[in-house]
Amino acid sequence: MSLFEKHRSVLTNAVDALHKRDFFALYPENPSPKVYGETADADGQQRFKSHLGKKFEELLQEPGDRWVGEEESPYTLESLGISYPAASTETLISRSLNAFDQWRKITADTRAAVLIESLERLKDRFFEIAYATMHTSGQGFMMAFQASGPHAADRALEAIATGYEELQRVPRAVTWDKPMGKFNITLDKQWRAVPKGIGLVVGCSTFPTWNSVPGLYASLITGNTAIVKPHPTAILPMAIFVAELQKVLAEEGLDPHIVQLAPDTLGQQITKELAEHPDVVLIDYTGGSDFGNYLENLKGKAVFTEKTGVNSVILDSMENPDEVAQNLAFSVLLYSGQMCTAPQNFFVPEAGIKTPGGTLSFAEFAEKFTGAIESLVNNPKAAPHVLGAIQNQRTSDRLSETAKLPGRVLLQSKSVENPVFPKARTASPVVLEVAAENREVYSKELFGPVVLLIKTKSTVQSIQLARDLAKQHGAISCGAYVTDDELKETIADQMGLAATPVSFNLTGGIYLNQNAGFSDFHVTGGNPAGNASFTNPEYVVKRFTWVGFREPAKAAAV
């Protein structure tokens, strides 16, 4: 059985799921022993530990000219001591160009099969990747497992399926037969999906695999080669992905340099050099807006970005304020607000929030919300796992600046003890009340666990502010609590114009921060928070070019 036959049904199901958009996941998100095996967790942790203090020698790419690495665990504040082979930009590019001809000429079927096989192999390393993600990003274990393992793999599969489907959109060959009256003009036509060249994937420190693999697999399925440039502080998770990809490539007789790891250091980053190289024609990027804008403005490249935004929650009316407060408290604690989907600005009308038990005043809601946050922060069984750790010291430093903003502090941020990692860099959310007039305070992303409660004149003003912020500064998520159908439609319509998805009336175990593969588009691409979307057709079609070839049909020439 060919590798393609082995994975054909996975591919078919994934393409089908793209259209249905009902729940679909190939990789179980539940890290229980029943699903992944009794020893999976311990084995994974052991494998993670075996990397510490060593050279990462699993890659099949030719050795570089030096070894680099400066990852540090946000949980222990100690160096991981892992080093990775670094090479010059010219070396990386020339290897990639060499590998390009081989990869672009094999069929989409074979490419899909190779890529899916790599995900199957990675499944056996989800726990190892989880610990690697924890100790680089600072995510709690559950998020690290789910986001960097099964969810990332499903997002990669989604990109493969979207790309694969696009590659089938135009027939490989047809006979074109045009009646001209007394005779026909008959041409044999062919079309080829020509990949663009080398794709650069620039990773971020908070979601090292989840944000990187869609672009990586999208570039690869469409026949491009790839260079993965992880964030210098979060290399290991992607190093494992690249290593598994290279192993499958080599086993299939293909050049492992079709995908390469390009590690660098904070002091000497190579992203610009790579990005500006004329042979790099695709760039996938997650990170700050300044660098993202610089990349988007590079000439002659297709650039896919997820940058920063300002996410709003519009509070108008609700059935159960306690459930809402609990749901939102979890949303703001989750990974200490370091998710790009974390809500920051909570708009509450000065007349209060309508509930079945009467109107909840601004102050009453504020009390309920901060109470729910405090209660979760003070729950030692939950808080350390939900909060995780702060990825880097700069975020902590900025957090202490936040309390100086013009506004009233309703809840102070504090360190939260982690029983397993006493040195962990932690912070609970700070909650500030900010006047609607102080627009400069809430018109930017305050990265980390920062909650702003903003009193507006009315829900109409709340909607207007949320929409305008999204249009001008970007937004990746939006929450809305509203019981009136007409108002709900207004919110959907207006936030839609700002290209911002809205989660309405969430309570219980689903949070506005979460986006599911094969169903929710992550980032829409339509506002300044990013120009790309996981995974819409635009995300893949810009990675190749349809080129046609034609010739008088042989039969007709007789």
Q: Rule CB under 8 A: which residues touch a copy of itself?
A: 19-23, 30, 166, 169-171, 174-181, 185, 187, 189-192, 194, 196, 297, 299, 492, 495-497, 499-510, 516, 519-521, 524-526, 533, 536-538, 541-542, 545-552
The nearer residue to a copy of itself, 248 or 328, going by C-beta atoms, is 328
The nearer residue to a copy of itself, 21 or 457, going by C-beta atoms, is 21
Tokens of 209: 């695999």
Q: Can you tell me the distance from the alpha carbon of 32 to that of 120, in angstroms, rounded to the nearest whole number?
A: 18
CB of 396 to a copy of itself, least distance (A): 33
CB of 227 to a copy of itself, least distance (A): 19
Tokens of 14: 């994934």
Closest C-alpha to 535, from 174, 27, 83, 157: 157
Q: Can you tell me the distance from the alpha carbon of 425 to that of 534, in angstroms, rounded to the nearest whole number?
A: 31
CB of 484 to a copy of itself, least distance (A): 13
CB of 22 to a copy of itself, least distance (A): 6
The nearer residue to a copy of itself, 46 or 546, going by C-beta atoms, is 546
The nearer residue to a copy of itself, 436 or 553, going by C-beta atoms, is 553
CB of 58 to a copy of itself, least distance (A): 33
Rama region for 197: left / alpha / beta (φ>0; ψ in -120 to 50; rest):
left
CB of 290 to a copy of itself, least distance (A): 14
CB of 104 to a copy of itself, least distance (A): 9
H helix or E strand, kind and range, residue 245 = helix 236-251
Task: Report strand pairing: 280-286 vs 198-202.
Answer: parallel
Q: Can you tell me the distance from the alpha carbon of 362 to that of 359, in angstroms, rounded to the nearest whole number?
A: 9
CB distance 480 to 316 below 8 Å: yes
Task: Give ∠ CA 166-172-178 in degrees, rounded to 5.
Answer: 115
CB of 325 to a copy of itself, least distance (A): 16
CB of 20 to a copy of itself, least distance (A): 7
CB of 496 to a copy of itself, least distance (A): 5
CB of 543 to a copy of itself, least distance (A): 10
Q: Can you name the residues that pair with 481 across neighbouring β-strands?
A: 315
529: helix, strand or coil: coil
CB of 210 to a copy of itself, least distance (A): 18
CB distance 370 to 122 below 8 Å: no
The nearer residue to a copy of itself, 81 or 526, going by C-beta atoms, is 526
Tokens of 394: 């700069």
Q: Can you tell me the distance from the alpha carbon of 483 to that of 249, in angstroms, rounded to the nearest whole number?
A: 53
CB of 517 to a copy of itself, least distance (A): 12
Residue with the two structure tokens 């249905």: 20
Cβ neighbours for 288, distance < 8 A, ≥ 6 positions apart: 307, 308
CB distance 113 to 3 below 8 Å: yes
The nearer residue to a copy of itself, 73 or 305, going by C-beta atoms, is 305
The nearer residue to a copy of itself, 361 or 519, going by C-beta atoms, is 519
Q: Can you tell me the distance from the alpha carbon of 217 to that of 177, in angstroms, rounded to the nearest whole number?
A: 38
The nearer residue to a copy of itself, 367 or 538, going by C-beta atoms, is 538
Per-residue 3-state assignment (H helix, E strand, C coil) for 62-101: CCCCEEECCCECCCCCCECCCEEEECCHHHHHHHHHHHHH
Q: How many CA atoms lie within 13 A of 330 on its CB side?
A: 16
Q: What are phi and psi of 193, to 5 degrees?
A: -90, 100
Sign, CA dihedral 2-20-341-333, equals: negative
439: helix, strand or coil: helix
Residue with the two structure tokens 């502090």: 409
Q: Can you name the residues that pair with 527 across neighbouring β-strands?
A: 530
The nearer residue to a copy of itself, 224 or 402, going by C-beta atoms, is 224
Residues written for the chain: 558
Q: Can you tell me the distance from the alpha carbon of 512 to that of 505, in angstroms, rounded to the nearest whole number?
A: 10
CB distance 433 to 346 below 8 Å: no
The nearer residue to a copy of itself, 125 or 522, going by C-beta atoms, is 522
The nearer residue to a copy of itself, 107 or 545, going by C-beta atoms, is 545
The nearer residue to a copy of itself, 358 or 508, going by C-beta atoms, is 508
The nearer residue to a copy of itself, 1 or 180, going by C-beta atoms, is 180
The nearer residue to a copy of itself, 334 or 499, going by C-beta atoms, is 499
Q: Can you tell me the distance from the alpha carbon of 59 to that of 243, in angstroms, rounded to the nearest whole number?
A: 5
Rama region for 316: left / alpha / beta (φ>0; ψ in -120 to 50; rest):
alpha
CB of 302 to a copy of itself, least distance (A): 10
